[in-house]
Structure 1
Amino acid sequence: MVVLYGIGMIIRFILKVALLPVQAALTLLLFALCYVGGLVTYASELLGTFLIFCGICTFWMKGPATMGWQGIIAGILFAIIPQALTLWGAEGVLCLKDLLGRV
């Protein structure tokens, strides 16, 4: 039994050393995802704000109501979807890193 425990410890150590570059690559991927996601989120928030403003202006200028609602809904979607994808992607990478860290 002690021999099997020793072999298991050796195999676990080898796996930890082998997975170290994978952990480093996932960390770099996480940093890149957060950076690019932040830029895309900022740009999409500006576009979404512009679309919401245009939708509200359409109501104010007595334009077609459907066009105003479409502008507001499109603006909300443009602001929310990139941020949600960034958060979900970062959480996915963190969960994968946690799973590999438990090995």
Structure 2
Amino acid sequence: MLKTLSYINITLALIYYVSYLINSNSFAALGILVIVTYNGFMIRNIERELKFGWLHYGLGVLSLVFAGILITWTVNIVLSSLDHNYFSNSWLYIAISVLFIICILWQLVLAWLIR
């Protein structure tokens, strides 16, 4: 399950980057890099049956921080969409963001419970 979630998170990270952050120089690009790196380590550890080290836990915490930032951005977009009534332009962003947040948090919880 963790391996599948890792592949899903990498795919969602790339979709999120290509769709919304291609010209960004903000923390979001760094967050995407952290997510991809963490999930790459997760896949490698599952395939080789390795234990997690401090680097993995550090990247997990940074992934959690990025998920929190993504939650804040998504809530701001939803509130702004409600105020200005432009959900037609923001539904796809909100859907991808919510799915991405759920997958990140689900993977971190499963990794914590299993490891």
| Structure having the larger proportion of residues in helix | 1
If the length of structure 1 is used for normalisation, what is the TM-score? 0.47
If the length of structure 2 is used for normalisation, what is the TM-score? 0.43
Rg (Cα) greater in structure: 1
